[in-house]
Amino acid sequence: MKTLVLVRHGESVYNRANIFTGWTDVALTPQGEQEAIEAGKILKEKGFDFDITYTSVLQRAIKTLWLILEQMDRMWLPEIKTWRLNEKHYGKLQGLNKAEMAAQYGEEQVLLWRRAYDVRPPLLSEDEIKDMRKESRYADVDNIQYMLGESLKDTVERVIPLWENQIKYDLLNNKRVLISAHGNSLRGVVKYLDQMSEDEVLHFNIPTGIPLVYQLDDNLKPINRYFLADEEKLKAAIDKVANQGKAK
């Protein structure tokens, strides 16, 4: 069997404040760091090991990966960092509070912005991203749309080339792969692997800091998929994610 483990970064300062984050590069909270440490501990305890790792170019995912590898005594493992694993870009919503937006525009509209498969948020202008376009970590972005604001469909479409051109071949060559990324970019991987419908993936929540394990056959078809957490902890974490877009 082939081994693939996905981990959504630990709680970030914007997660804690219930703010649309997207490509905004914010740090982990102390709780988020502890979530990453616990992820590393349980992966080591359950006997997991890896040959190569992937992460986004955002510090909350990178730091999560580092903390996991530190706990596993595997900080020497190769890391591939790519913007294709960044969180979904929330356009003009980035930096705004989800509950406040729900109170202003209604929970249904915020849910569309957060979860509708092909609905984009209010988009940034090209002038508003001119500084970001100068950053070397985004030098190879092949479609400016990704930097203006994305639907989940856009996010899935930019994740797939990474899978097809790199991750797939690591797995086919029997490398054990760990990916530390974000809720929506990881949902793109899940949708692709499990051939989920657009509706199914919209209702699949990935909580912060809890490893999602895939066992794949020789054709990279899923044999098994499970979270490394007990049912009570997993349910509480998933409910927390699902309730973020509600007005208070």
pLDDT > 90? residue 114:
no
Q: 41-83, pLDDT tens digit by residue? A: 999 999 999 999 999 999 999 999 999 999 999 999 999 999 9
Which residue from 162, 170, 166, 211 is spatially nearest to 188, judged by alpha carbons?
A: 162
- Return d(Cα 126, Cα 99) in angstroms, integer: 28
List domains and CATH numbers for the chain.
2-242 (3.40.50.1240)
* Average pLDDT estimate for 200-212: 93
Cα dist. 91→106, 118, 148 in Å?
18, 14, 6
Q: What is the mean pLDDT of the chain?
A: 94
Q: 147-183, pLDDT tens digit by residue? A: 999 999 999 999 999 999 999 999 999 999 999 999 9
Catalytic residue among 11, 33, 38, 87: 87
> Any idea which residue has 């740090």 for tokens?
27
* Main-chain dihedrals φ then ψ at residue 180, nearest 5 degrees: -110, 110
Catalytic residue among 9, 11, 35, 38: 9
- Return d(Cα 52, Cα 65) in angstroms, integer: 11
pLDDT of residue 194: 97
Q: How does residue 235 score in pLDDT terms, banded at 50, 70 and 90?
A: confident
Residues 6+ apart with CB under 8 A from 106: none
More confident residue, 202 or 242: 202
pLDDT of residue 8: 98
More confident residue, 178 or 108: 178
Q: 42 near 69, Cβ under 8 Å?
A: no
SS3 of the chain: CEEEEEEECCCEHHHHHCECCCCCCCCECHHHHHHHHHHHHHHHHCCCCCCEEEECCCHHHHHHHHHHHHHCCCCCCCEEECHHHCCCCCHHHCCCEHHHHHHHHCHHHHHHHHHCCCCCCCCCCCHHHHHHHCCHHHCCCCCCHHHHCCCHHHHHHHHHHHHHHHHHHHHHCCCCEEEEECHHHHHHHHHHHHCCCHHHHHCCCCCCCCCEEEEECCCCCEEEEEECCCHHHHHHHHHHHHCCCCCC
Query: pTM value?
Result: 0.93
Residues 6+ apart with CB under 8 A from 174: 2
Q: 32 near 60, Cβ under 8 Å?
A: yes
pLDDT > 90? residue 230:
no
pLDDT > 80? residue 239:
no
Annotation says 87 is catalytic:
yes
Which residue from 192, 105, 202 is spatially nearest to 152, judged by alpha carbons?
A: 202
pLDDT of residue 244: 55
